[in-house]
Amino acid sequence: MPKKLLVANRGEIAVRVLRACAELAIPSVAVFSDADCSAPHAMLADEAVRLGEAEAKSSYLDIGKIIDAAQTVGADAIHPGYGFLSESAQFAAACQAAGITFVGPSAATIEALGDKASARRLAVEAGVPVVPGQQIESDEELEQLAKQVGFPLLIKAIAGGGGKGMRVVRDPADLQHAFELARREAVASFNNPAMLIERLIERPRHIEVQILADNHGHCVFLGERECSIQRRHQKIIEECPSPAVDADLRQRIGSAAVAVARAAGYTNAGTVEFLLDENGDFYFLEVNTRLQVEHPITEEVTGIDLVHQQLRIADGLPLELEQDRIVIRGHAIEARVYAEDPARDFAPSPGRIHVLDEPHGPGVRVDSGVRAAMDVPVYYDPILSKVIAWAPTREAAIARLDRALADYVLLGFATNISLMRHVLGHPAFRQGQLSTGFITEHLLDRQTALWSAPLPSEQTEALAAALSADARVSSTDGAPQTVAAVRQTPWEQLANWRVR
């Protein structure tokens, strides 16, 4: 195992990895920006290093600063979490050059799978079906390729993900404009203008397969996850197993995921994503070369700690898991809690958390990266926490998650909690009739005011602010203090202090 691990991330995923370090007795190091100097992840680690200004490019995306931080504290391994630099081949290569273990696949594998055209070729070579389409080599061939693929079609960026650089085209008259918009967004988001054109699969389900692969040629899959409930091409509710996947399809799609992983020479944890059409046919989509946001639901139904497995694999240890002994027990569903307002087209809604009471109870897990009296910054992804419910059946898991979300109290700004409860209560969701267009199809015609939990009155906010006023940490000039300054007494530490 690593002698000391630096977590190159923030929020709930940093807290998740830091807790795994504590369980494995691995000394841990957090990094933080000026916006996160008193954030839970910075307080939880054994050590914390300031990276710089709040903007991600000056902190969590600065490869040089992160490598310097690891070398300064003597960390011999880095876990990238998800987002930020987690799928950066350049970052993985920089770790290797510095003699630091990158907890993830090799730089070459990340580069090969990060390019969607290259990943498609690998899938085809492995005998895995792909959506008909190809790379757009020049503006001149756009119309010809569109005729070959047929309408409706999808234009998407070769690099990146998260729905950026993606446009659906149903009318040939809209083709050129949609292409220019998608390419402009791809350049702005990923600095890469390369684009793909693919046939649009109508009302698909988004199914992904969790894989683990070691450095000794052993690769297994840990079932599938249904990730069809999305807004703006980004997931908000995931479940495991999928209500659309039976034992036969699970074996076929899992074997396809392993075939892609082997073709790419993959090691560590990864996720192979597919589209499942209404006929039950699946098509390779892409590979996420990192730990997924929704990994807890796989952990809940398999009993396998994915972060522990990542660290074992990174240390060169062989997998001790056998495919025929991996069993899915019960059903797990995850809801991502975002600081965003569904009634305002999911606009981010950062601000001060005046009151926070996260849910508890049997079968409920909350992976959180926030606390009361904390200012949620505007600079990063607005995810606050993930609420995961496990139960013996899907019906019971839905009821348990709905109860947990009803118990979730957060005062200070709008969240998507009310929207997710509407999804869970919808008859189509309860019947397992899902697609990536579920929210558009079933909820856009609802009164959008229903989607946001009612904001507290001025009096309520004033009371909450008064109750949490002494929790704000600032210096005499109003500037945030460093972690060292925040830890004024043992009572304020979130780590290993005990009363004796």
pLDDT in tens, 216-259: 999 999 999 999 999 988 999 999 999 999 999 999 999 999 99
pLDDT of 5 higher than 80: yes
- Other C-beta atoms lying within 10 Å of the C-beta of residue 188: 10
Cα dist from 411 to 334, 358, 371, 375, 455, whole Å: 22, 12, 12, 12, 8
pLDDT, tens digit, 9 for 90 and up, residues 113-150: 998 889 999 999 999 999 988 889 888 899 999 999 99
pLDDT, tens digit, 9 for 90 and up, residues 320-363: 999 999 999 999 999 999 999 999 999 999 999 999 999 999 99
pLDDT at 175: 95
Q: Residue 465 half-sphere exposure, CB side, CA atoms within 13 Å?
A: 12
- Closest C-alpha to 159, from 117, 207, 108: 117
When the candidates are 3.30.1490.20, 3.30.300.30, 3.40.640.10, 1.10.1050.10, the CATH number that belongs to 132-199 is 3.30.1490.20
pLDDT of 481 higher than 60: no
Q: Is the peptide bond before 377 cis (omega within 30 degrees of 0)?
A: no
pLDDT of 455 higher than 60: no
Q: Label residue 480 by pLDDT band (50, 70, 90).
A: very low
The CATH-assigned architecture of domain 5-111 is 3-Layer(aba) Sandwich (3.40)
Q: What's the topology of domain 205-451?
A: D-amino Acid Aminotransferase; Chain A, domain 1 (3.30.470)
Q: Label residue 100 by pLDDT band (50, 70, 90).
A: very high
pLDDT at 245: 98
Range(s) for CATH 3.30.1490.20 in the chain?
132-199
CB of 154 closer than 8 Å to CB of 197: yes
pLDDT at 474: 41
Strand partners, 340: 348
Q: What are phi and psi of 418, to 5 degrees?
A: -65, -40
Range(s) for CATH 3.30.470.20 in the chain?
205-451
Calculate the average pLDDT of the chain. 90
460's torsion region: left (phi>0), alpha (psi -120 to 50) or beta? Answer: alpha
Range(s) for CATH 3.40.50.20 in the chain?
5-111
Residue 211, helix vs strand vs coil: strand
Report the range of poorest mean pLDDT among 77-91, 226-240, 261-275, 460-474: 460-474
- Closest C-alpha to 381, from 2, 4, 11: 11
User: What are the residues whose beta carbons fall under 8 Å from the beta carbon of 152, sequence distance 6 or more?
Assistant: 168, 169, 170, 200, 202
Q: What is the pTM of this model?
A: 0.87
d(CA 363, CA 330): 11
d(CA 105, CA 360): 35
Active site residues: 290
pLDDT at 478: 43
pLDDT of 477 higher than 50: no
